[in-house]
Structure 1
Amino acid sequence: MGRDDGVESGYGSEGQPRNRKHAKKENEEEEEEAMMSVERVFEGKEVPSWRQQLTVRAFVVSFVLSVLFSFIVMKLNLTTGIIPSLNVSAGLLGFFFVKTWTKVLEKSGMLQVPFTRQENTVIQTCVVASSGIAFSGGFGSYLFGMSDRIAEQMGNVPGANDYKKLSLPWIIGFLFIVSFLGLLAVVPLRKIMIIDFKLTYPSGTATAHLINSFHTPEGAKLAKKQVRTLGKFFSFSFLWGFFQWFYTAEDGCGFVNFPTLGLKAYENKFFFDFSATYVGVGMICPYIINVSVLLGGIVSWGLMWPLIGKKAGDWYSADLKPSSMHGLQGYKVFISIAMILGDGLYNFCKVLSGTLLGMYRQFKGKNSLPRVASSSPPESPQLSFDDQRRTSLFLKDQIPTSFAIGGYIIIAIISIISLPHIFHQLKWYHILVMYLAAPTLAFCNAYGCGLTDWSLASTYGKLAIFVIGAWAGASHGGVLAGLAACGVMMNIVSTASDLTQDFKTGYLTLASPRSMFVSQVIGTSMGCVISPCVFWLFYKAFKDLGLPTSAYPAPYATVYRSMAILGVEGFSSLPKHCLSLCYGFFAASILINAIRDAVPKKYSKFIPLPMAMAIPFYLGSYFAIDMCVGSLILYVWERINKAKADAFGPAVASGLICGDGIWTLPSSILALVGVKPPICMKFLSRAANARVDNFLKGS
């Protein structure tokens, strides 16, 4: 309206020249908008129907990449639990595989369907949905925490009600039962989230921009170079993992046990373990996360544990096993839990309050853009060409609300009947209450993720541990009931935020909501089979899986089981003075977060993150040093050539992560068939070496 008023007010004695001037300015604005418009670039290309976006080749490529990414996520789950965003890698590798496929067919004259950005989005959605089950499935947390292996290594003698013997059939069945409810819970809200509220979903938006750029001529050239770079570092990382394997004949052997900073530092978990995976993770994660992890390691293993260790015989019995929760191990686990819970509670309240405030503003009309009530193309001049085209296509392929609600009710009924047969400690009324609360919590998580890019799935899972565990009670298997409830809730809210994030990606790439939903369902189905099979390979290949001395200690399995015990038994299980220390670190975690939010951004970026600090309290700092090396490489690269670092840094990091991650497949197979490495490389002190030499001479 302002533009029309301006034209009208331009008439008069100087009306004609002023009108020409205004018209010229208007043309310049339109040209500028056309240059900035993404959809102008793709205007001449026909958008395929939602069925045409779902191609056989897309799902073949998705399956291959899902296996690769499931190995990567599983390895990260079972080592430190730090999992970076792999969306960029999924989009890039999906583009590379299908582009190669179509190029071969094009040269042979057999290409019938060109590769589109919508198909690329379908692949990325399917892969991320599938590999996401490797995280939300709890293989490194609540699910493995149910096992007798974790219960025994914590020093407990599990009763029949306190553990669940792991087996592949019930794990797959459990995941199929609980993994689809979150998808159906948010389907009716897609228009509100994407069109009405205009939520940003930073990861989904970044992925969409990446996919859009791949399908322009300039972007395709850069993508080829990025893929080439990824391939080089993938090969290097895979071969480096293969080379290291030769020197790991026994426990404590190989480069992973290299005392880089000295033997004393090695005893306190300070060493560089030559892990290509965590160097790559360090290149992807923000600097503050890597520094926070290192700082947490210094505070815990550098100061606290040596001091508490001197209290053996006073604060706790000196005769306990190292793995006992009543000794030093208890301080490591429960103080870490206190920090995680403090950080989770603070961010839960922060995101929830932001969600409620944002919703209030949206409904009051203070902060919302014009809403579109029908599926016809909007004519409002306030919407740009891109928004008009995207909104029109997003509303074109409706997913019936009755389908979503009906599907949710049917699956909920099936779950209420079947889940108590898998976990008899979890009663039908526990499940009913969770499913009544789940849609609200799924909406809150999806909305909060749209505002902050932060999914609080694990926080909702911990909430379920305490509520359902305490409700069931210790005498009725509350520990196992709490862990099972965590799995139910975590899967629902995690898949809900993932799907809404993908709806945003689809909105920006003109992929149909129907194709996004179908792709998410197929990807989730793949994940419900692939992830348990990958975990089972690890479980059978590495007999020490879950032990603190293992290459795969699964720290969060111990943490989640300890939370369940704490929720059922209260604080009676804690060693002396541990509760006071937990209170202190819980409060410190909340205070640090509050200070981060209170000070200006230029200062807050230097304040550590309590959640990241908590991770090495249990594990040590070896992976933190790897990650800081990755940060250092990226920092130096940015200083030398920032443009090149920004363009190729993610590709290098992805190559390092993918190569080392996929090496776990052949190494697991070798372990399963009983093939052992030929060499053991160990590092001894001078005194120990002298004793070994004297012993060998004497023999």
Structure 2
Amino acid sequence: MEKTDMELKQEEEEGAPAPSVERVFDGVRVPAWREQVTVRALVVSLGLSVMLSVIVMKLNLTTGIIPSLNVASGLLGFFFVKVWTKALEQAGVLRVPFTRQENTVIQTCVVAAYGLAFSGGYGNYLFGMSSKIAGQATEADDSQNIKDPKLGWMIAFMFVVSFVGLFSLVPLRKVSRIQQRPTDCTGNRPSANSSSFGNIMIIDYKLIYPSGTATAYLINGFHTPQGENLAKKQVRTLGKFFSFSFLWGFFQWFYKSGDDCGFEAFPTLGLKAYENKFNFDFSAMYVGVGMICPHIVNASILIGAILSWGIMWPLINNQKGNWYSADLAPNSLHGLQGYRVFIAVSIILGDGLYNFLKVLTKTVQTFVSDSQKIRLSTLPVSDEVQMAKQPIVSYDDDRRIEVFLKDQIPKWVAIGGYIIVSLVSIITLPHIFPPLKWYFILVAYAVAPVLAFCNAYGCGLTDWNMASTYGKLAIFVFGAWAGAHHGGVLAGLASCGVMMSIVSTASDLMQDFKTGYLTLSSPRSMFVSQVIGTSMGCVVAPCVFWLFYKAFDDIGVPGSQYPAPYAIIYRNMAILGVDGFSALPKHCLTLCYIFFALAILINLARDLSPKKVGQCIPIPMAMAIPFYIGAAFAIDMFIGTVILFVWQKMDRAKAAAFGPAVASGLICGDGIWSLPQAVLALAQVKPPICMKFLSRKMNDRVDAFINSAS
């Protein structure tokens, strides 16, 4: 029986939980799962997938830092469908209103599609196979360890590996304890046979999945009267800063006709600082990224930039001719570039190992604890005692569980899908990558469900997706298994892609199930939209990368517009896994050991210190990023975090409501400008002006040369 308004008010005064979300939607019909996956939702999803894939690809090929674009996709999806339905409503032909379930389908589809622009490895393992990156590596540049990008095999590879993770959690499914609940909100007892692989995460263990939960509350808020008005204001704000960012990128293009030209080469902190890559390069995108990333992440990146480019690299450069040959090319990994790459690798591995063990330990402890509670709650005691031990189920939980159990994915579909896709992969992948033997893939798929479960469970607890860590583990295991003389580097990089795709997709699916659970979206519509979004991403992501690859000749080259820093890092991880440390320059291995240990110690200090102290200690993974690519983007991001910090001090509520919209607008505008810029480059249309900055002495020489020439 529903509670009266007086009873609800009394509960609020007594410190009861917040008012029910689902009571706001009490009179709203929940559409069937087929009605949630609409044509207009898929059309909007495809458009947003292309736009956000371009943005993610640009970020992937510049710094490798990919902020969450869920807010942008949610806002834009809401906006475009609202415009669509408003136009149809005025024309008198609107048949189906826009629901939060349809909004969730768009969100799921878009995130699945643009997620492949990152997990597809275009900025790390996949591009690391190319001859362009192999030429910069220490060794292993023979033909059996090289695979240059081609649109055909990249699309085939995406289709082969990207769907396995969607089915990988099925072998671990179990009967949900939901059968112990006396009745659902309709008065019926849910059947144990309706249990699905999502139940263990969502219902049994009630995992938070912070990103999925935040997305659900965003969507729920959009579709309430007050939330819809706020969403319209947020979309207008996003549109303003989108336009500004796009036009600013267009304006900057006119001044970049050569190397070291334009606003990117503006020596804002002086020429000497610019030589060490310390300058503000007027990037609207990275100012926006800084506004989305937590303050400690931005501060950590700046600290890492100061430590590396401000202190370490100038000191090591003074040892030229002593620690390494003075005659080496600037990009040789036997020289200063080797210290940059391998010290960054050691920090990343140290931080990844620590967090992997931390999340795994927490996952096992929580899983065992919850399993014991569930086992105790199902002992054969009397109904009265059993009912007394039942946790109080709120109206929202009751309603959500009822809908969540209604449309489950059949077990035979999920297990059959896993077997079929695995067989296709085992047969197909050795033809794409000859060093990757069929039994490597069989072993990977045999352990994949366990690893996918660990990653999905850990992500539900901490919101930390450890897919890249599992990928690095695969690099070392399968690369060493293949061996140095049998294409071990290529095998390691390819197996990284296989493993990353499985565990990342499984984790994303559970995030989406959490969002669907909180918005009363059908698990079946979530699964279908994930499959459709993944299919979109398998075509869109390779095509977007191919556009960048063909438009910019210097892609992957250090110091270029798109250096793809993680590509050389991942390739050298594979070389280390196969060949060992023999190719490192003098004292580089010692420094790697020191920074590997330092990454672990800093993480320990963060976890063991009081909360107020720990949250001020830098994050090693973030510190490692500028070690290789420079400090310019670190300054951009720090300016973004300063803007947000001041805004929060002045008006915290407004900053919370509109900060993500401003940041998303800056990121989207600059990112979308990359598309016409690439088209202009393909058409061989070059900017008309080169804006350069010279010292006074150099300027006098240039003036003298011009005068003598005239």
TM-score range, shorter chain: over 0.9
Q: Does 1:123 align with 2:106?
A: yes
Selected match of 1:231 from 239, 247, 250: 239
Report 1:81-96 matches (<5 A): 81-96=64-79
Q: Rate the CA distance shift 1:381–1:327 in 2: closer, same or farther, 3 A.
A: closer
Q: Does 1:685 align with 2:671?
A: no
Report 1:40-51 matches (<5 A): 40-51=23-34
Q: Does 1:203 align with 2:203?
A: no
Q: Does 1:605 align with 2:609?
A: no
**What residue ranges of structure 2 are gaps of 5+ in the alignment?**
174-196, 380-386
Q: 1:153 Cα deviation (Å)? A: 3.0
Q: Does 1:252 align with 2:234?
A: no
Q: Does 1:290 align with 2:298?
A: yes
| Contact kept? 2:351, 2:599, Cα under 8 Å | yes
Q: Deviations over 1:301-323 (max 9, x none)?
A: 11110111111111111111111
Selected match of 1:557 from 556, 567, 578: 567
Taking the aligned partners of 2:10 and 2:269, their CA distance within structure 1 comes to 62
| Contact kept? 1:198, 1:369, Cα under 8 Å | no
Q: Rate the CA distance shift 1:580–1:133 in 2: closer, same or farther, 3 A.
A: same
Taking the aligned partners of 1:463 and 1:139, their CA distance within structure 2 comes to 19
| Contact kept? 1:196, 1:370, Cα under 8 Å | no
Q: Which residue number corresponds to residue 311 of structure 1?
A: 319
Report 1:271-670 matches (<5 A): 271-365=279-373, 382-670=392-680
| Contact kept? 1:154, 1:323, Cα under 8 Å | no
Q: Which residue number corresponds to residue 214 of structure 1?
A: 222
Q: 1:28 Cα deviation (Å)? A: 2.5
Q: Deviations over 1:322-341 (max 9, x none)?
A: 11111110000000000000
| Contact kept? 1:130, 1:527, Cα under 8 Å | yes
Q: 1:382 Cα deviation (Å)? A: 1.0
Q: 1:474 Cα deviation (Å)? A: 0.6
DSSP-derived class of the 2:685 partner = coil
Q: Which residue number corresponds to residue 11 of structure 2?
A: 29
Q: Does 1:152 align with 2:152?
A: no
| Contact kept? 2:472, 2:496, Cα under 8 Å | yes
| Contact kept? 1:34, 1:40, Cα under 8 Å | no
CA RMSD of aligned residues (A): 1.9
| Contact kept? 1:180, 1:521, Cα under 8 Å | yes
| Contact kept? 1:346, 1:590, Cα under 8 Å | yes
Letter in 1 for 2:34: R
* Aligned-residue identity in percent: 69
Taking the aligned partners of 1:506 and 1:572, their CA distance within structure 2 comes to 51
DSSP-derived class of the 1:142 partner = coil
Letter in 2 for 1:147: S
Q: Rate the CA distance shift 1:667–1:368 in 2: closer, same or farther, 3 A.
A: farther
Q: Rate the CA distance shift 1:368–1:616 in 2: closer, same or farther, 3 A.
A: farther
Letter in 1 for 2:245: S
Taking the aligned partners of 1:368 and 1:71, their CA distance within structure 2 comes to 51
DSSP-derived class of the 2:471 partner = helix
Q: 1:34 Cα deviation (Å)? A: 9.4
Q: Rate the CA distance shift 1:59–1:389 in 2: closer, same or farther, 3 A.
A: same
Selected match of 1:676 from 674, 686, 693: 686
Q: Which runs of 4+ in 1 moved over 4 A?
A: 23-27, 30-35, 366-371, 378-381
Taking the aligned partners of 1:604 and 1:275, their CA distance within structure 2 comes to 31
Q: 1:29 Cα deviation (Å)? A: 2.6
Q: 1:381 Cα deviation (Å)? A: 7.2
Q: Rate the CA distance shift 1:341–1:34 in 2: closer, same or farther, 3 A.
A: closer
Taking the aligned partners of 1:400 and 1:577, their CA distance within structure 2 comes to 58
Selected match of 2:198 from 170, 176, 190: 190
Q: 1:186 Cα deviation (Å)? A: 2.4
Q: Rate the CA distance shift 1:369–1:273 in 2: closer, same or farther, 3 A.
A: farther
| Contact kept? 1:186, 1:500, Cα under 8 Å | no
Q: 1:159 Cα deviation (Å)? A: 1.1
Selected match of 1:240 from 239, 248, 261: 248
Taking the aligned partners of 1:687 and 1:155, their CA distance within structure 2 comes to 39
**What residue ranges of structure 1 are gaps of 5+ in the alignment?**
1-22, 372-377
Q: Deviations over 1:228-284 (max 9, x none)?
A: 000000000000000000000111110011110000000111000000000000000
Q: Rate the CA distance shift 1:538–1:391 in 2: closer, same or farther, 3 A.
A: same
DSSP-derived class of the 2:325 partner = coil
What TM-score results when the alignment is normalised by the length of structure 2? Answer: 0.93
| Contact kept? 2:140, 2:489, Cα under 8 Å | no
Q: Rate the CA distance shift 1:26–1:108 in 2: closer, same or farther, 3 A.
A: closer
| Contact kept? 2:363, 2:458, Cα under 8 Å | yes
Aligned residues: 672
Q: 1:157 Cα deviation (Å)? A: 7.3
Q: Rate the CA distance shift 1:286–1:370 in 2: closer, same or farther, 3 A.
A: farther
Letter in 2 for 1:461: G
Q: Which residue number corresponds to residue 191 of structure 2?
A: none
Taking the aligned partners of 2:337 and 2:376, their CA distance within structure 1 comes to 51
Q: Which residue number corresponds to residue 92 of structure 2?
A: 109
Out of 448-457 and 409-418, give the one that drifted further: 409-418
Q: Rate the CA distance shift 1:110–1:534 in 2: closer, same or farther, 3 A.
A: same
Taking the aligned partners of 2:655 and 2:12, their CA distance within structure 1 comes to 34
| Contact kept? 2:287, 2:638, Cα under 8 Å | yes
Q: Deviations over 1:553-598 (max 9, x none)?
A: 0000010001001111101011111010000000000000011000
